[in-house]
């Protein structure tokens, strides 16, 4: 299909596509679907799986390992029988296990993210056989007639049939984000971006309402054509993943440095060249954290899955970390803190008196017709407030809608022009502040009189009274328009006020309390009246003090940036009558104060604030496509409590990564110190290179993964937010892993090693053959002690400060422990294990001593934690 359709009238366009204004029939849809396929942008051919699997074996670390394995086999040829062949086999084993494990983790992570994306399929209103249906955008075929509203993403290339105030943002195709007006009239240009009556798939409807004819779908659209060219856009890498990559490189450098240093020492001491070289390579191999990045990616992906289960959909992985360090939440009121289930609670007639009994006719008429609800097949859907008004108004004469002046947060009102009983009426509703100044007269009954100061004051007093009890107040007004006169909102007749009740959501109070404990400030940013906002804030515990700071949007706008930063420091803060643009100012000022800001939003105009925020959060139910696409996270249930849950998960990811870092770093100490003792103190080598590999790339692997999947600790939301500048690997973590847990493990393992040698009759200075039974037993004992200590360490690492038994239930923990035990048993007691790792069967006594050592480690660490807790309690009184 070419764009010639732009030159035609809507009727001709329909005819060209064999369609009609009431939409296609079911049979036509089936036929066209068979011919054109689903309306979907096909993903480009991805690299085949085997290719990606293969890549796991040829990256830089893997190449180092291959080199080392090759070296070992060469050494075996050169000098057979020194155990070099076993080492070579072990290293190849490491490459294979590690490659498969990384591949599996990356695959899992990718699957998790793909599953998330499919949770939010775009929907569209389609007219078929004269009925309006809400269908998945994928179901569209050329010839379909669709309805679009402000905030919708255009699902396919279409020709406008009818348009009211339509403006589109074509940034996704043209790269320029300047909204352009569109109308249904035929135009001269047939250039897809310039034709004023075409809407292209992937662009956004920024305002207005439209009915349009689909003429191209899926890969036949302009967007599809571009997608074919540019697919495979860069995947986002989160700062956390970048930091992990940085840490990995650092550790690699450190490992290489250590390897070279040890090699030099060995050379100085005159050790055999090849054995010495192999040892250096072993040190490097053991310390290179190959599995770190995939484990972190998987931890992040699993967190997004847990969040999805709690109704928070993560669209950008980096948002998970930003969530965890959030210090301020700017939350909408309506729908997020409240239920968005509204009900008209009070009716005030134009003279300022309560009108519970009789409903003023004009008030009901405006409530019935002034809205943007979509009525189809007997059901009405749309904004809950308008639904409440519509329900309250009850049945009445139907009117033809001629025009609409749309609502936006700046104007805080909307109007429609309707034809009713032969009269052309403009019906307006909105915030009293913006509607009442437009009114010149009041009419209760048939006698219009001027809307004077006392009348205005009476209404404002009523508004204040309603707002104070948490009701949202709307003013309703109208006027008659002469034929042909443009729709203008002035000279209105005031019809009265309606007050709507919107109770707080049930769990919000508790969620607000959790934020308070977690050191997260919640700022209500709403378009509603300050007193309404305050009343709700009190109901949900957001405001407890007598002196909360109530700011209006206009006040904020008048301030200098410095003043804004200053006032936004207030502990209890409500921003009311705020437009979307002013919301952006709030976000910027908070960020300038160094806060990490999470912002909620639903409307088209909220997009800039959502993009600007550290974490932009869109509403899944009430949000527009525009808001969802600008956001990092979508709350499927619009609920504030869900947001707080997501923050908890965000914190947990970070904490978990630290847990497994501590775990794998601590075992490096008992792996390296024995070699130092060997060279410097002249004892037999307590732990061979293969055995080091067995720990780092064997027994440690699953337990580390289990720590990465820990559930959020109950105390997590009682800690203050993590500082933005804080590093993942900080001094306390390194000190605890290397200087404390690692040292204890070293003492235990070397202790058991020396005890066994001693019991076997060895004395300091004696030479021991590398194949002598006593030596084999002693190194096995050292290995077993390290692994048993790591088992205790697994529990200890569940929290840096809280006791082991305080954590939640982690169902991966025991399987990981069992795995660790099985692997070490296989290494020590099976014949292939003994061959490969140079071990020998051990007596129960050795296990006993190792277990005792591990128990000691556990007790010492718990004691240290208890002391820290006691110190903190003393400090905070």
Where do contacts with ligand ADP occur on this chain (CB under 6 A)? 332-334, 383, 385-386, 407, 409, 412-414, 429-431, 472, 474, 526-528
Question: What length is written for the chain?
Answer: 877
Instruction: Provide the minimum distance between the beta carbon of 645 and ligand ADP in the complex, in angstroms, as a whole number.
Output: 22
Binding to Mg ion by CB under 5 A, coded x per residue (else -) over 315-344, reads -------------------x----------
Token output for 592: 């300038």
Q: 3-class SS at 688?
A: coil
Question: Whose CB is nearest to ligand ADP?
Answer: 527
Instruction: Provide the minimum distance between the beta carbon of 59 and ligand ADP in the complex, in angstroms, as a whole number.
Output: 50
Instruction: Provide the minimum distance between the beta carbon of 525 and ligand ADP in the complex, in angstroms, as a whole number.
Output: 7
The partner in contact with residue 616, picked from ligand ADP, Mg ion, none with C-beta cut-offs of 5 to 8 angstroms by kind, is none
Instruction: Provide the minimum distance between the beta carbon of 335 and Mg ion in the complex, in angstroms, as a whole number.
Output: 7
Q: Which is nearer to Mg ion, 415 or 600 (by Cβ)?
A: 600
H or E stretch covering 135: strand 131-136
Q: What are phi and psi of 401, to 5 degrees?
A: -85, 125
Instruction: Provide the minimum distance between the beta carbon of 332 and Mg ion in the complex, in angstroms, as a whole number.
Output: 7
What secondary structure letter does DSSP report for 446? T
Partner residues linked to 552 by β-bridges: 576
The partner in contact with residue 521, picked from ligand ADP, Mg ion, none with C-beta cut-offs of 5 to 8 angstroms by kind, is none
Sorted by sequence, the CB contacts under 8 Å of residue 641 that are 6+ apart come out as 505, 507, 508, 510, 511
Contact 807, 799 (CB under 8 A): yes
Cα distance between residue 654 and residue 647, in whole Å: 11
Within 13 Å of residue 676, how many CA atoms lie on the same side as its CB? 10
What secondary structure letter does DSSP report for 710? P
Instruction: Provide the minimum distance between the beta carbon of 430 and Mg ion in the complex, in angstroms, as a whole number.
Output: 12
Sign (positive/negative) of CA torsion 293, 298, 301, 302? negative
Contact 853, 788 (CB under 8 A): yes
CA 745 to mean position of chain CA atoms: 38
Gyration radius (Cα) of the chain, Å: 35
Instruction: Provide the minimum distance between the beta carbon of 635 and ligand ADP in the complex, in angstroms, as a whole number.
Output: 15
Three-state SS string across 218-278, please?
HHHCHHHHHHHHHCCCCCCCCHHHHHHHHHHHHHHHHHHHHHHHHHHHHHHCCCCHHHHHH
What secondary structure letter does DSSP report for 171? H
Choose the catalytic residue: 125, 157, 332, 696.
332
Q: Which is nearer to ligand ADP, 194 or 410 (by Cβ)?
A: 410
Token output for 190: 């047939």
The partner in contact with residue 474, picked from ligand ADP, Mg ion, none with C-beta cut-offs of 5 to 8 angstroms by kind, is ligand ADP
The partner in contact with residue 780, picked from ligand ADP, Mg ion, none with C-beta cut-offs of 5 to 8 angstroms by kind, is none
Closest Cα to residue 701, out of 282, 101, 251, 284?
Answer: 101
Q: For residue 382, how many other CB atoms are within 10 A of its CB?
A: 15
Binding to Mg ion by CB under 5 A, coded x per residue (else -) over 749-778, reads ------------------------------
Instruction: Provide the minimum distance between the beta carbon of 603 and Mg ion in the complex, in angstroms, as a whole number.
Output: 7
Q: Which is nearer to ligand ADP, 363 or 474 (by Cβ)?
A: 474
Cα distance between residue 32 and residue 147, in whole Å: 20
Task: Write down the H helix ranges in 288-375.
Answer: 292-309, 318-324, 361-369
Q: Which is nearer to ligand ADP, 407 or 849 (by Cβ)?
A: 407
Q: Which is nearer to ligand ADP, 414 or 741 (by Cβ)?
A: 414
Q: Which is nearer to ligand ADP, 404 or 632 (by Cβ)?
A: 404
Please indicate whether residue 700 is annotated as part of the active site: no
Question: Whose CB is nearest to Mg ion?
Answer: 334
- Cβ burial, residue 536 (10 Å; 0-12/13-18/19+): buried
Q: Which is nearer to ligand ADP, 221 or 334 (by Cβ)?
A: 334
Query: What ranges make up the beta strands (E) of 466-614?
Result: 472-480, 492-501, 521-525, 549-552, 573-576, 597-601
Q: Which is nearer to ligand ADP, 407 or 819 (by Cβ)?
A: 407
Instruction: Provide the minimum distance between the beta carbon of 166 and ligand ADP in the complex, in angstroms, as a whole number.
Output: 18
Token output for 7: 């030159």
Sign (positive/negative) of CA torsion 270, 274, 278, 280? positive
The partner in contact with residue 645, picked from ligand ADP, Mg ion, none with C-beta cut-offs of 5 to 8 angstroms by kind, is none
The partner in contact with residue 414, picked from Mg ion, ligand ADP, none with C-beta cut-offs of 5 to 8 angstroms by kind, is ligand ADP
Q: Which is nearer to ligand ADP, 386 or 595 (by Cβ)?
A: 386
Instruction: Give residues in contact with Mg ion (CB under 5 A).
Output: 334
Active site residues: 332
């Amino acid at each position: 299909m070419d764009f010639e359709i732009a030159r035609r009238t809507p009727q001709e366009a329909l005819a060209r596509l064999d369609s009609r204004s009431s939409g296609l029939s079911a049979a036509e849809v089936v036929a066209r679907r068979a011919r054109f396929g689903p309306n979907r942008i096909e993903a480009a051919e991805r690299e085949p799986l085997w290719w990606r699997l293969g890549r796991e074996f040829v990256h830089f670390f893997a190449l180092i390992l291959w080199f080392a394995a090759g070296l070992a086999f060469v050494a075996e040829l050169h000098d057979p029988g020194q155990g070099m062949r076993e080492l070579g086999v072990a290293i190849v084993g490491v490459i294979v296990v590690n490659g498969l494990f990384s591949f599996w983790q990356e695959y899992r992570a990718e699957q998790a993210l793909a599953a998330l994306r499919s949770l939010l399929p775009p929907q569209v209103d389609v007219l078929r056989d004269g009925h309006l249906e809400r269908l998945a955008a994928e179901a569209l075929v050329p010839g379909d007639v669709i309805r679009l509203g402000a905030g919708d993403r255009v699902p396919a290339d279409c020709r406008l049939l009818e348009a009211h105030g339509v403006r589109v943002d074509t940034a996704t195709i043209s790269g320029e984000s300047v909204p352009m007006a569109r109308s249904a009239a035929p135009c001269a240009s047939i250039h897809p971006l310039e034709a004023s009556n075409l809407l292209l798939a992937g662009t956004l409807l920024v305002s207005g309402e439209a009915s349009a004819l689909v003429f191209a779908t899926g890969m036949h659209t302009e967007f599809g054509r571009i997608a074919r060219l540019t697919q495979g856009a860069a995947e986002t890498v989160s700062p956390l993943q970048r930091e992990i990559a940085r840490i990995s490189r650092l550790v690699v450098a450190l490992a290489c440095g250590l390897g070279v240093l040890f090699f030099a020492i060995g050379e100085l001491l005159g050790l055999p060249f090849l054995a010495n070289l192999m040892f250096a390579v072993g040190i490097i191999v053991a310390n290179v954290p190959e599995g770190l990045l995939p484990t972190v990616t998987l931890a992040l992906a699993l967190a997004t899955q847990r969040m999805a289960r709690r109704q928070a959909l993560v669209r950008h992985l980096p948002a998970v970390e930003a969530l965890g360090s959030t210090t301020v939440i700017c939350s909408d009121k309506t729908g997020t803190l409240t239920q968005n289930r509204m009900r008209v609670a009070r009716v005030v007639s134009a003279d300022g008196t309560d009108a519970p009994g009789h409903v003023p006719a004009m008030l009901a008429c405006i409530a019935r017709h002034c809205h943007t609800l979509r009525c189809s097949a007997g059901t009405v859907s749309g904004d809950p407030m308008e639904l409440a008004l519509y329900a309250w108004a009850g049945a009445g004469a139907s009117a033809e809608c001629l025009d609409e002046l749309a609502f936006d947060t700046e104007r805080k009102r909307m109007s429609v022009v309707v034809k009713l009983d032969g009269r052309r009426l403009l019906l307006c509703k909105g915030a009293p502040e913006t509607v009442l100044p437009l009114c010149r007269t009041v009419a209760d009954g048939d006698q219009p009189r001027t809307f004077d100061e006392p009348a205005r004051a009476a209404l404002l007093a009523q508004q204040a009274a309603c707002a104070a009890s948490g009701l949202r107040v709307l003013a309703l007004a109208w006027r008659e328009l002469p034929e042909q006169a443009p729709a203008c909102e002035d000279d209105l007749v005031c019809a009265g006020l309606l007050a709507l009740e919107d109770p707080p959501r049930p769990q919000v109070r508790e969620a607000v309390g959790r934020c308070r404990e977690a050191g997260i400030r919640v700022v209500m940013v709403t378009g509603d009246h300050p007193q309404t906002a305050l009343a709700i804030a009190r109901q949900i515990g957001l405001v407890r003090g007598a002196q909360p700071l109530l700011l209006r949007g206009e006040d904020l706008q008048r301030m200098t940036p410095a003043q804004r930063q200053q006032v936004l420091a207030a502990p209890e803060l409500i921003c009311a009558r705020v437009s979307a643009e002013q919301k952006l100012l709030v976000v910027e000022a908070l960020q300038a104060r160094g806060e990490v800001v999470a912002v909620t939003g639903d409307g088209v105009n909220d997009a800039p604030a959502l993009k600007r925020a550290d974490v932009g959060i869109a509403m899944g139910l009430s949000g527009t496509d525009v808001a969802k696409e600008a956001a990092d996270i979508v709350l499927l249930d619009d609920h504030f409590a869900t947001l707080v849950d997501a923050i908890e998960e965000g914190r947990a990811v970070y904490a978990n990564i630290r847990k497994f870092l501590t775990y794998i770093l601590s075992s490096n100490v008992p792996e390296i110190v024995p070699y130092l003792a060997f060279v410097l103190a002249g004892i037999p080598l307590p732990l061979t290179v293969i055995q080091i590999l067995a720990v780092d790339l064997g027994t440690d692997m699953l337990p580390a993964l289990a720590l990465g999947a820990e559930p959020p600790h109950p105390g997590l939301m009682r800690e203050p937010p993590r500082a933005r500048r804080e590093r993942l690997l900080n001094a306390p973590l390194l000190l605890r892993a290397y200087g404390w847990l690692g040292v204890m493990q070293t003492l235990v393992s070397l202790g058991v090693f020396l005890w066994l040698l001693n019991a076997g009759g060895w004395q300091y200075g004696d030479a021991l053959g590398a194949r002598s039974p006593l030596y084999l037993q002693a190194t096995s004992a050292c290995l077993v002690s390290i692994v048993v200590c790591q088992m205790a360490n697994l529990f200890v690492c569940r929290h840096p400060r809280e006791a082991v038994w305080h954590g939640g239930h982690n169902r991966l923990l025991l399987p990981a422990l069992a795995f660790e035990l099985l692997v070490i048993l296989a290494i020590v007691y099976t014949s292939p294990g003994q061959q490969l790792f140079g071990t020998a069967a051990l007596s129960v006594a050795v296990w006993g001593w190792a277990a005792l050592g591990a128990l000691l480690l556990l007790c010492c660490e718990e004691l240290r934690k208890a002391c820290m807790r006691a110190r903190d309690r003393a400090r905070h009184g």
